[in-house]
A and B are shown apart, each in its own frame.
Chain A
Amino acid sequence: MSLKRKDFLGLYDVSAEEINQILDTAVAMKDILTRTVKKVPTLRGKTVINLFYEPSTRTKFSFNLAAKRLSADVMSISKSSSSIAKGESLLDTAKTMEVMGADVVVIRHSAPGAAKFLADNISASVLNAGDGAHAHPTQALLDIYSIKEKLGEIAGLKVLIVGDIAHSRVARSNIWGLNKLGAEVAVAGPQTLIPREIEKMGVKVYSDLDQALENVDVVNILRIQMERQESGLFPSIREYREIYGMNAERLERIGKKAMIMHPGPMNRGIEIESSVADSPQSVITEQVKNGVAIRMALLYLLAGREIDNEDLN
């Protein structure tokens, strides 16, 4: 059992079948995470390198843990983006990874397309852990997994993504993935944070959050970066909270069945009120757990191409 691809860079060119295959594999992985001994020997002898050019706590931790749960040898390399220009080029880093015998390289980078560049220059599998505003497929898959786990079927669900869509790789990957599985996706946020022609991706665009919230099944709230305000994309945090913040009143209006998500890290009290983040409708902590399962599934499907399914038992 494996994916018919060397690399996993985004959900743009991934089929619904492949997504389902990953989600199914993640179910088995999540099962491992509930055992007392949370480790299987599946990827013993395999080398996973986490190459993080951007600060990340939870994604890096999640990938690390996922690799360890599968008994892979895992190393993490963090580089500050500022050292890229003058320091070692991504190409040389790729070559270094290659000779070190990496089976899978997980990359997080601020430049869109960086994961593809790495993939084109290395024979190891490349797993994109976020490249600029382009793609963050494991986050989208864990979001989809979390929705499926709670609501059953993706097809026909109304999913709303709220906030800074323009700079969000999470939004883009969610849109590709959810659309493929037949969900109806909409985005809402200030028009300054909605990228041009995004409706061509097959989403509805709202600038009025309350209107967008009518009849939704899932609300995925994105983190708002403070520097967006500084660069003039919205006037103030206060106004953002007022117009686009997910608060108790709005939660009340969408009802008990709706599901609340956030990829983290949250700005509590800004894009999401604590009472919403900690509400029964929120699956935010479950998302983190599912993230490990999804990453285990992908590492397994990429690195364990020749490994038998039996090894999971």
Chain B
Amino acid sequence: MKTLIKNGRVYDSKNGLEGKYDILIEGNKIFAVEKEIKDQGYQIIDAEGKIIIPALIDMHTHLREPGYEEKETVKTGCEAAAAGGFSAVAAMPNTKPIADNPAVVEHLKLKSEKAAVRVYPIGSITQDSKGEVLSEIGTLAKTGVKALSDDGNPVMNSEIMRRAMEYASAFDLPVIDHCEDENLSQDGVMHEGYHSTIFGLKGIPAAAEEIMVARDIVLAEMTGIHLHIAHLSTEGSLNLVKEAKARGVNVTFEVTPHHLLLTDQAVEDYNPDTKVHPPLRSERDKNVLVEALKAGQIDVLATDHAPHTYEDKLGEFDYAAFGISGLETALGLLYYNFIKTGIIDWNDLLRMYYYKPGEILKIESEGLKQGSRADFLIFNPEREWTVDKNKFKSKGKNTPFAGWNLKGKNEITFVGGKMVYDDRGGKNEILY
């Protein structure tokens, strides 16, 4: 049985698509994309007035399983991804145990088989992500990890980072670093600046990130490995990366939607849902990142989806967990604030949130091409909605965007030719 998506407005300039197209799906593949495909008894989905793009790839997601199933499971995290318009996520290794060995990776792969979206494992750089002894990187590579990261923690020891990069180069895996000098960040809970001063909260200086970005760039240059900077958040980091790229260093970076939309002022009410690593930065940092977005300088957008329980985020700001549940708000926020306003267009979004992550992780990302895997989303640009964390598929309701009114929402997600999410008429349904 073939499915025909009629009359949608398709964006995928890489495949020469921009305008009204019909898309025909057979099995898990795209059978045809043409100006008009005649109905020959297909199952029809009318996408009149809707936008169709390849479903996004989030290369920075915490699925929490195994070990922290109270925060998220592979199942719920992937449902959240499907709802958010993603066909794939890369899962960070900071589970319990850490994904520093094939057993944990195999467990994740097994759990992912039945999940709503595809999951690409990331292995840890060091054993137990302690930054001391290298993980069995070669074995991890064989097991199918797509990148290495100790995310959640930096690799503080420069010698270990150097050796990790050198060693990993044999396996062609990118190294993703969570850049934070822990001696500088210490027990900080928000960005250091005027707001941390008046709120009386311990600050994390921008320098804590920038110093590690600088170090990693130097080491990447020395070892020749592909370095990917996770959740870059400051002007200084951006300048360092730009400069390194100009020199030809193999470095890429990602920015999260929350660092493009919120500043340290959001911590004002001591709302623990604004507590995140790296912290929400200054107005200037945010503006500089938005300028970079506009100028096409950002490589990757990623959520750093970090779900936590209600209790993890309850009470005093100092004691709350770091992290934002981001999969179900990313696309809506990016569309409403940056695409609708003309700062970027759909193809820019695809470059940062589909093609580049696909390229970095070396995973299938051919777009809406005949014969490629049928991963796409159908977006309703007219749909008005309010971020309601209680409707999240994710167990993590920890969003600082609760109550935000947006226009434009993902309504259907197809993964591998199968509709996995349907929100037409507000159904908000995951389909297996």
Chain A interface residues (CB < 8 Å from chain B): 12, 84-85, 89-91, 109-114, 116-117, 131-135, 169, 172, 195-198, 200-201
Contact = CB atoms under 8 A, between A and B. Distances in A.
A196 B318 CA distance: 19
B171 interface: no
A132 B197 contact: no
A116 B317 CA distance: 11
A112 B315 contact: no
A91 B203 CA distance: 25
A132 B270 contact: no
B196 interface: yes
A198 B192 CA distance: 11
Given A12-B198, A111-B319, A196 B269 contact: no
Interface string B262-292: 0000000110000000000000000000000
B316 A111 contact: yes
Given A85-B319, A197-B193, A112 B269 contact: no
Contacts of B318: 110-113, 132
Nearest to A85: B319
A116 B270 contact: yes
Given A111-B319, A132-B318, A172-B200, A117 B193 contact: no
A196 B198 contact: no
Ranked 5 nearest A-B pairs via Cβ: A113-B270, A134-B200, A133-B200, A111-B316, A197-B194
Given A84-B319, A91-B314, A117 B270 contact: yes
Interface size class of B (residues with CB under 8 A): 20 to 34
Contacts of A134: 199-201
Contacts of A110: 318
A200 B269 contact: no
B200 A89 contact: no
Contacts of B198: 12, 172, 201
Contacts of A169: 200
Contacts, number: 69
B33 to A, nearest CB: 53
B192 A196 contact: yes
Nearest to A115: B270
A132 B200 contact: yes
Contacts of A172: 197-198, 200
A90 B316 contact: yes
A196 B194 contact: yes
Interface of A is mostly: mixed
Nearest to A114: B316
B317 to A, nearest CB: 5
Interface centre among B198, B201, B203, B319 (most CB of A within 10 A): B198
B199 A113 contact: yes
Contacts of B200: 112, 131-135, 169, 172
A135 B193 CA distance: 17
Contacts of B316: 84, 90, 109, 111, 113-114, 117
Interface in B369-385: none
A131 B198 CA distance: 12
A112 B319 contact: no
Interface string B155-199: 000000000000000000000000000000000000011101111
A65 to B, nearest CB: 27
A132 B198 CA distance: 11
B399 to A, nearest CB: 18
Contacts of A90: 315-316
Contact of B269 (A12, A85, A116, A195): A116
Given A91-B315, A196-B203, A112 B270 contact: yes
Contacts of A114: 316
Contacts of A12: 198
B199 A197 contact: no
Contacts of A135: 200
A52 to B, nearest CB: 15
A197 B317 CA distance: 22
Interface string B6-39: 0000000000000000000000000000000000
A195 B197 contact: yes
B320 to A, nearest CB: 10
Given A109-B316, A133-B200, 7 more contacts: A84-B319, A111-B319, A112-B200, A132-B201, A134-B201, A135-B200, A200-B197
B198 to A, nearest CB: 7
B204 to A, nearest CB: 11
Contacts of A117: 270, 315-316
Contacts of B202: 133
Nearest to A169: B200
Interface in B278-323: 314-319
A110 B187 CA distance: 14
A90 B319 CA distance: 11
B156 to A, nearest CB: 18
Given A116-B270, A117-B270, A197 B197 contact: yes
A198 B194 CA distance: 6
A247 B284 CA distance: 43
B196 to A, nearest CB: 7
Contacts of A197: 193-194, 197
B184 to A, nearest CB: 12
A132 B194 CA distance: 17
A111 B315 CA distance: 10
B202 to A, nearest CB: 8
A283 B200 CA distance: 27
Contacts of B194: 196-198, 200
Nearest to A199: B194
A110 to B, nearest CB: 8
Nearest to B197: A195
A282 to B, nearest CB: 28
Interface in B225-280: 269-270
Contact of A196 (B196, B201, B314, B317): B196
Interface centre among A110, A113, A132 (most CB of B within 10 A): A113
A1 to B, nearest CB: 30
Given A113-B270, A116-B269, A117-B270, A89 B315 contact: yes
Nearest to A116: B270
A128 to B, nearest CB: 11
A114 B203 CA distance: 17
Contacts of A198: 194, 197
Nearest to A195: B197
A186 to B, nearest CB: 16
